Amino acid sequence: MTTADLGLARPEPDACVVLRAAGVCVVLDIAAGRLPAIVHWGADLGDLTDSDVRALVRASVPPVVSQLPDQPLRLAVLPEHWTGWVGRPGLRGSRHGRDWSPQFRATALRVDGADVVTGLAVTGAGSVQLDAVDDTAGLGLTLTMELLASGLFRSRARLTNLAGDPYQLDDLVLAYPVPQLATEILDLTGRWTKERVPQRRAFTVGTHLRENRKGHTGHDSAYLLHAGAAGFGFGTGEIWSVHTAWSGNHTHYAERMYTGEQVIGGGELLLPGEIVLGPGDRYTSPWLYGSYGIGLDTVARRFHSFLRERPHHPSVERPVTLNVWEAVYFDHDLTKLIALAEAAAAVGVERFVLDDGWFGARRDDHAGLGDWTVSPEVWPNGLHPLIDRVNELGMQFGLWFEPEMINPDSDAARAHPEWIMATGGRRPVESRYQQVINLGIPACYGYIRDAMTALLDEYPIAYVKWDHNRDLIDAGTAPSGRPGVHEQTLAYYRLVDELKAAHPGLEIESCSSGGARVDIEAIQHTDRIWVSDCIDPLERQQMNRWTQQLLPPELLGSHIASGASHTTGRSHTLNFRAATAVFGHLGIEWDLTRASAAELVELGAWVGFYKEYRSLLLGGEMIRIDLPDDTIAAHGVIAPDRSRAVYSFAELGRSPLVMRGRLRFPGLDAERRYWVAPLMLDHAPMVEVPQWWGVEQENSHAHYPSEILPRLRATPDFGVELTGAALAQVGLTHAPTFPETAILYLAEAVDRDPLDDCSGGRIKPSCSHDGQCR
């Protein structure tokens, strides 16, 4: 390839581009053949003329001051060292010490596919692509920037080696400038069984760098890195955020220079020598997503809208799932599992998943990974007897795999020790008695693909729980030991895509010791993520809350566990476990054959509630409520047409205050009137009932089955009717209850009543809950 192939025959671009969508505006300056600089990324500026944009560009140029370069600094999306930028450069690499500081010159600009040379290009949601070259360094660059319909701004870079000798790429990151009013940083961290823990700090001079070298996204991933106005919350404060969409090694960073510039950015983290571009070779970076908004909820909703607009996005009718792991672990017994399946079907479960232990010599976690054939010792007749019974009960069947891992004690490892990822002539330290199998080796990839395909062809498997239970340490490729994380990550995407293409309708969950592979690119290939191996509802209140900063609830595996948590040892009521779990893709992880009759009745009621409200819970707009008391967590889901909403107020601890005052219900239509009342009263916790509930104090602990709620609603005292503005600005008196419990509320517009009487009006006291007039 020559530089002429990248458009050198054309005039250098000298133009500005304005992108506008969903209340967001991006103004790009491509001046005199330079790389794009972001003049504005933030609130929509309305219609801009050519002179407006030129004025904005001029107004953004800093003066030349003492002890700084003699020309104004212009910061590109790919920050360039040659310009005088002494922060993190966008591109690092060399040819044995040469060509390490390229100076790119733009050669072509396209907006929504059309060539642009000069002037102003204005579009809505659209794409900008710029080609550039450095003849001296022998490098070609293509930058792609897109403003999506949801208001997300994303970019990526493709680097091409145009010279005749190899170029070693060490780092390629993109960065977005943010204004100085962004004085605080918030990102996330975590650990196994406690993922997505928020952490906040001041945005000070220097670099806040989050590097991940685990080979997967990680329990402690930054997830999203936010920079915002002091004190920003779920509903307040101007915020800019970035997310690196990559399931391997990656970086997020925020950098503030002593000169006043500040940026947030990220990219793939490359190991030494991992990417060496031969003549004509190319490297494409991951997408760097940017989300702007007022409040963390707006930032999150842009990601939710983007994902929900995909043609392959899962339906909100997500099947209630039972996973057998915490019920049986490795103890697979057909009689026991059939009894569990029958109990699951009886409470309304729609999908039954067989977890680890069904294959090879997998009687515990010491052996068997890599041998993906059904164990004749445990399953002498194969999986058919179990699957047949599951299907007879009206449920789908799902199966656990860990395709990227291998036990040294396995037939696969003994036959192909070179398939184990390693470097330095040694094997990596073991973790969970396993190693990583190298999908970057074509023969190994084909072996895993064919083994999984054989099972998917033989059995009616509707769902795969895809696990990944260790970090990639010393992840090299034999015999050289050269780093292989980049190729392993691409092979993971390719394998998932290939299996799904060959088996239409197959759903795959991204699990990695719980929530260690949760990112936008992983969910582009899969259908849901497993939030955490911890199903303790107290922990899940926090983890679900913050996982939704990126993903909508229908993509979050959210299960009801047994009364005593297997990961924390805490015990909780079924009310708290279920009220927490229904705000996600509901499942159960519990040996129902040991549940009491009363527990099964209550569990069935919660499953019924979930099915009744599933389209709202999984299709509505998430809202998280800022409260001054951190012993209560409040959130809700609001229908897109604002006709109804379900809110949760969960007591996480014991407050020093007896009463919390009035609880607000934001997000509703300010002008409409809503009826608000508690839900699932038959299974509510012990509660001190406020007067607005309309329940007599002496009956405050009585049970009100959900099926008679329509009749209670028809009485003049049950619940309250107010405008959306009053509910949001004033609120309703808190109902005190025990710690680690939750109360759900329904808010329904009075002009939207699915329980009509015979004449089409609202249900009357003389009508029964089934709508039949007596």
* Residues whose CB is less than 8 angstroms from the CB of residue 446 and which lie 6 or more positions away in sequence, other chains included: none
- Cα–Cα distance between 34 and 602 in angstroms, integer? 65
- Cα–Cα distance between 625 and 648 in angstroms, integer? 10
Helix axes 597-619, 574-581, angle to 10 degrees: 20
What pLDDT shows up at residue 731? 97
533 is catalytic: yes
| Lowest model confidence (mean pLDDT) among 240-249, 647-656, 757-766 | 757-766
Query: Other C-beta atoms within 10 Å of 419: how many?
Result: 24
- Cα–Cα distance between 523 and 509 in angstroms, integer? 9
> Could you say which of 527, 533, 536, 753 is catalytic?
533
Is 762's pLDDT higher than 80? no
pLDDT in tens, 307-346: 999 999 999 999 999 999 999 999 999 999 999 999 999 9
- Cα–Cα distance between 551 and 301 in angstroms, integer? 9
297 is catalytic: no
pLDDT, mean over the chain: 93
Q: What is the pTM of this model?
A: 0.94
| Lowest model confidence (mean pLDDT) among 251-255, 375-379, 557-561, 767-771 | 767-771
- Whether the ω angle into residue 479 lies within 30 degrees of 0, i.e. cis, is yes
Per-residue b/e over 660-677, b at no fewer than 16 CB within 10 Å? beebbbbbbbeeeebbbb
- Cα–Cα distance between 281 and 262 in angstroms, integer? 33
Q: Give percent helix, percent strand, percent coil of the chain, each to the nearest 5.
A: 25, 30, 45
**Residue 392 in tokens:** 């007879």
- Cα–Cα distance between 618 and 583 in angstroms, integer? 7
Is 767's pLDDT higher than 50? no
**Residue 165 in tokens:** 């000798």
Given strand 24-30, what is the order of strands in its sheet?
Answer: 37-43, 24-30, 14-21, 118-123
CA 572, 576, 582, 583: dihedral to nearest 10 degrees?
-110
Is 34's pLDDT higher than 50? yes
What confidence category does residue 717 fall into, taking pLDDT thresholds of 50, 70 and 90?
confident
Mean pLDDT of 412-441: 98
What pLDDT shows up at residue 766? 27
Is 264's pLDDT higher than 60? yes
Cα–chain-centroid distance for residue 189? 14
What pLDDT shows up at residue 772? 33
Q: Closest Cα to residue 244, out of 210, 295, 282?
A: 210
- Whether the ω angle into residue 628 lies within 30 degrees of 0, i.e. cis, is no
Q: Tell me 498's DSSP state.
A: H
What pLDDT shows up at residue 541? 98
Percentage of residues in the chain having pLDDT higher than 90: 88
CA angle, residues 597, 598, 601, in degrees to nearest 5: 90
Q: Mind giving me the DSSP string for 728-762? A: HHT-EE---B-SSEEEEEEEEETT--SSB-TTSSB
What confidence category does residue 659 fall into, taking pLDDT thresholds of 50, 70 and 90?
confident
What pLDDT shows up at residue 9? 59
Pairing of strands 321-323, 351-354: parallel
**Residue 696 in tokens:** 């007599």
H or E element: which one contains 724? helix 724-729
In degrees and rounded to multiples of 5, residue 129 shows phi and psi of -130, 130
Is 174's pLDDT higher than 80? yes
> Could you say which of 467, 471, 519, 536 is catalytic?
467
Query: Other C-beta atoms within 10 Å of 426: how many?
Result: 9
Secondary structure of 268-317 as H, E, C letters: EECCCCCEEECCCCEEECCEEEEEEEECHHHHHHHHHHHHHCCCCCCCCC
What pLDDT shows up at residue 682? 82
CA angle, residues 657, 570, 700, in degrees to nearest 5: 50
341 near 606, Cβ under 8 Å? no
Mean pLDDT of 545-559: 98
What confidence category does residue 278 fall into, taking pLDDT thresholds of 50, 70 and 90?
very high
581 near 587, Cβ under 8 Å? yes
What pLDDT shows up at residue 696? 57
- Cα–Cα distance between 192 and 635 in angstroms, integer? 25
Helix axes 597-619, 334-346, angle to 10 degrees: 60
Is 354's pLDDT higher than 70? yes
- Neighbouring-strand partners of residue 362: none
Residue type, 552: P
In degrees and rounded to multiples of 5, residue 594 shows phi and psi of -105, 0
- Cα–Cα distance between 444 and 101 in angstroms, integer? 39
CA–CA distances in Å: residue 293 to residues 38, 60, 183, 606, 734: 17, 22, 15, 35, 30
- Neighbouring-strand partners of residue 185: 201, 227
Mean pLDDT of 440-461: 98
**Residue 640 in tokens:** 């897109």
- Cα–Cα distance between 375 and 469 in angstroms, integer? 21
Is 109's pLDDT higher than 90? yes
- Cα–Cα distance between 96 and 98 in angstroms, integer? 6
Mean pLDDT of 624-647: 97
Q: Is 576 exposed, middle or buried (0-12, 13-18, 19+ CB in 10 A)?
A: buried
